[in-house]
Structures are given as C-alpha cells and as structure tokens.
Amino acid sequence: MNREQFSNFISGFIDGEGNFQVYLDRLYLRVMFRIRLHVDDVGVLHKIKDFLGVGRVVISGDSCVFIISDVNSLLNVLFPLIDKYKLYTTKWLDYIDFKSVVLFLANSNTSRLSSSQLEWAVGIISNMNLQRKIYNYDLIPAITVDPFWLLGFIEGEGTFGFKNLSPYFQIGQHIKNLRVIEAISSYLQLLPKSFTLTQHSKISQIHKTLNSRTQVIVISIIDIDVLYDYLLLFLLNMPFQTRKAEDFYFWSLVLHLHKLGYFYMAEGRKLAYKISAYTNKGRYSTNPNQIECPSLS
C-alpha cells in the first residue's frame, strides 16, 4: 500500500481495534492511545509504529499492544492522521474527548490537577468508551467507505467463518454503530460481479441480525454464489496486514471447494473440515489445542 492507502487502513483498523484512554494516576492526568491484539499479530503493530515513526510495541503474555502516550507524538503525528482519515464509529467521540485532554496537557505546565480540574477530568473519564451514555451522532463525520478503510475494519472486526463446514462472512458491531454497519452493507452491495457464469446470484443477499441480549448487530453473507461471485475477488486483491490473511486464504479455498462441487467428494469434505478447525482461534500459537496447518499437497 502507498501512504494514502495505508493511512486509510490505519483509520479502519483504529475504528475496529483502537482505544483512547484517559486516566488518573493519583492527582496526575495521563493519556494513552492503544491498539491491542493477539501476540501472533505483533507484526502489524510494528508496521504501524514504523509508518508513524512514534510509539512503542509491548508484548505481554498472549497479547501485544501498540502505545502512544507522549503528548507531542499524539499532537504532531496521530492527530493529523485521524483528522484527515476520519473515524466513523463512536470512537470518534472518544477521540474528541481524548484530544481535548491532550491539548489541555500540552498547554499546562504540569499534569497535576487542581480540585476544579480534577472534577473536569473525572467528568470526561466517566463518559468515555464503555462508560459513555450519550452519543451525539451529529459530531461523527459522514461515512464515506474507502476500500482500504474497510480492509482495516475487516481485519479488526470481520470474520471468515464456517457453519456446518459452509463458509460465511460477517461483520458485527454494537447497535450504537448501526450507521457504520449500514454503510458497509451498502458498499458491499455495489461490488461488481467478478464471476459471471452464475446467472442468479445477487449481492443484495446480505443478512442483518440483532442479538437482543448483547445489542450486537451483524451483517453476514452466507450464499456461496454471492460470496464467490462478488466478495472473493474484491478481497483477494486487497493487501491484508494481519494473520487474518491466512484465515481468509484458507476460507477462500473452502469457498472454491463448495462453488465447484469438490466439497461433495470425500477428499474435499475432509480438507474443508481440517481448514475449519485450523482457522481463526485454532491456529493461534497460544492455543493449547493448536491445530496443525492443513497440507494442500
């Protein structure tokens, strides 16, 4: 990816995996931007660090995290990127609050707070991230789905899964980000048909479901023809950055087995089973029951 494309990728990845944190250390105000992943994906954090030229990558147990906590780095590197390559989820609201705190710190002689400043800081902290109760959607930028933003978001929030050995694709978000889900659904419905031998497949067959208990809304594509004719080539042309690429490529192979009928042969079904067990969490290096990578020979 060139700089423009990778910047859009980072924006989408932050929308999926980023976190803006403001916290108190006794009477001192601290800030931290983080992207936390499974340790197997530490490589993409180093790519982001090298691209931005600031921050640090820390590995702890099964996790790795990219951190920027320096005020100057936030002001001069991260904020200009996010201001140009917008966030579209409610994380934009967290970013606004986070930015206001960083600007306060940049203009203060000390991070130690007075009693009135402490009250102000507590008010912000108690209404960010999971604590936020009010969502002013008018403050969030209008959504324009860029393919590289979408790639970053898929690498954070997308799933290339299997149900009864049949491949499906889905993206889920809390209902508070319904606008984002609807924008992605509309974007996918405009994908061109790449495989034209199937006459009746239509990308409009995107299912939307809401889990009333978790308030998570999911868009999914389960139709083999639609996955193969529209989504497959679009994603094959995208430069995945995390190990979700491995999940996608193996998933694509099972999709191919289904599309061309090889799945209904004993060898094809056996391979599909091995791949379904291996992909996603099955391949993690930290999985105590780690599945061996399927042989394609």
Give the integer Cα–Cα distance in Å for 104 and 118: 12
Q: Say which residues have a Cβ less than 8 Å from residue 193's Cβ, sequence separation at least 6.
A: 201, 203, 229, 230
User: What length does the chain have?
Assistant: 297
Tell me the residue type at 30. Answer: R
Predicted pLDDT at 297: 63
pTM of the model: 0.93
Q: Are residues 101 and 158 in the same domain?
A: no
* 292-296 mean pLDDT: 82
> Has residue 296 been placed in a domain?
no
pLDDT the model gives residue 128: 93
Burial annotation 49-76 (CB, 10 A radius, 16+ → b, else e):
bebbeebebeeeeeebbbbbebbebbee
Mean pLDDT, range 222-238, rounded to an integer: 94
200 has a pLDDT exceeding 90: no
Same domain membership, residue 11 and residue 98: yes
Does 262 lie in the same domain as 161? yes
Where in the sequence is the domain holding 218, given as residue range(s)? 147-283
What's the whole-number mean pLDDT along residues 162-177? 96
Q: What are the two backbone dihedrals, phi and then psi, of residue 44, each rounded to the nearest 5 degrees?
A: -70, -30
pLDDT of residue 9: 98
Report how far residue 135's alpha carbon sits from residue 209's, in angstroms, rounded to the nearest whole number. Answer: 22
- Per the CB < 8 A criterion, the answer to whether 24 and 125 are in contact is yes
217-252 CB burial, b ≥16 within 10 A, e <16 = bebbbbbbbbbbbbbbbebeebebbbbbebbbebbb
Q: Starting from the edge strand earliest in sequence, which strands make up the sheet with 28-38, in order?
A: 18-25, 28-38, 63-68, 56-60
The mean pLDDT value of the chain amounts to 93
- Mean pLDDT, to the nearest integer, of 84-89? 98
Instruction: Based on the fold, state whether residues 255 and 279 are members of the same structural domain.
Output: yes
Structural domain count of the chain: 2
Strand 166-174 relative to strand 216-221, pairing: antiparallel
Give the CATH number of the domain where residue 230 resides: 3.10.28.10
Residues 268 and 171 placed together within one structural domain of the fold: yes
Segment holding 294, helix H or strand E: none
CA distance 162 to 176: 27
Question: 102, 137, 172 — which closes off a domain?
Answer: 137
Q: What average pLDDT does range 30-36 have in this prediction?
A: 97
> Does residue 44 surpass a pLDDT of 90?
yes
110 with 177, same domain: the answer is: no
Do 195 and 270 belong to one domain? yes
Q: Pick the residue with more confidence: 195 or 95?
A: 95
Are residues 28 and 72 both part of a single domain? Answer: yes
Contact 153, 219 (CB under 8 A): no
Name the token pair of 95.
Answer: 């970013």
Residue 293 lies in a domain: no
Q: What is the pLDDT, as a whole number, of residue 212?
A: 92
Say whether pLDDT at 201 is over 80.
no
